[in-house]
Chains A and B, each alone.
Chain A
Amino acid sequence: AQSVAQPEDQVNVAEGNPLTVKCTYSVSGNPYLFWYVQYPNRGLQFLLKYITGDNLVKGSYGFEAEFNKSQTSFHLKKPSALVSDSALYFCAVRDRGSGTYKYIFGTGTRLKVLA
């Protein structure tokens, strides 16, 4: 069965500092991995994904994520945080070997960037 873990409910970081939001996954086959962001009173928006190829993927708003197969992780990073990055972040996985479009999400991590 697929699963996603986001071990931190909340991450606080000072503006201008680097940020990391953690995600680990479990699938029986190879994963497709995604990050989504939810701003207050809004639906989720796609940030970036890993399908295949380069382990470091770049996405919207200066975010990037590194796929680490041995650690089954896909941590979200940004070199310099902005106050406007404060939001709820979700990691998601689809098992590419499952033959289905079933996306499983983590519990979410609230990022708070302090001015």
Chain B
Amino acid sequence: DVKVTQSSRYLVKRTGEKVFLECVQDMDHENMFWYRQDPGLGLRLIYFSYDVKMKEKGDIPEGYSVSREKKERFSLILESASTNQTSMYLCASSLFGTTTNEKLFFGSGTQLSVL
């Protein structure tokens, strides 16, 4: 089965710190995604990527950047963490180009607290 692994389950950072959230998938998926989940707001798309070195902005990219140097790894970067970035961050991956198998596989999430 597909495994999407997020490097940390819980993370506590200070305001202004640069924060890296790492995500690795083991099924050679082309597409990878970063969402944040907040109560009452559901999942909101931050960035996604179709392929190595390719990225597209989602609905709330401000304050975030991403890196995809290898196909299996998609990193989310908070350049200068702020308290309003305290949230649950979910990484997901999916295959490209086939609707038969189209679905997202999610990691377990990283609960980030910015103090």
Are A32 and B102 interface neighbours, CB within 8 A? yes
Binding site for B on A (CB under 8 A): 6, 9, 32, 34, 36, 41-46, 49, 51-52, 90, 92, 100-108
Give the number of chain B interface residues (Cβ < 8 Å). 29
A-B contact number at CB 8 A:
61
The reply to whether A49 and B45 contact each other, CB–CB distance below 8 Å, is no
Interface residues of B in 3-45 (CB under 8 A from A): 4, 31, 33, 35, 40-45
Taking a contact as CB atoms under 8 Å apart, the answer to whether A46 and B103 are in contact is yes
Q: Are B106 and A105 in contact (CB under 8 A)?
A: no
Interface residues of B in 78-106 (CB under 8 A from A): 90, 92, 94, 96, 99-100, 102-106
Please measure, in the bound complex, the distance between the C-alpha atom of A49 and the C-alpha atom of B100, giving whole angstroms.
10
Would you call B74 an interface residue if the criterion is a C-beta within 8 Å of the partner chain's C-beta atoms?
no
For the complex, what is the distance from the CA of A44 to the CA of B100, rounded to whole Å? 20
Inside 8 A of B100's CB, which chain A residues have their CB? 51
A36 and B92 CA atoms in complex are apart in Å by: 12
Q: How far is the CA of A44 from the CA of B109 in the complex (A)?
A: 9
B107 and A51 contacting across the interface, CB-CB below 8 Å:
no
Q: Are the CB atoms of B103 and A101 closer together than 8 Å?
A: no
Contact between chains at A43 and B96 (CB < 8 Å)? no
Contacts of B50 in A (CB 8 A): 101
A42 to chain B, nearest CB (A): 6
Complex Cα spacing A1 to B109, Å: 27
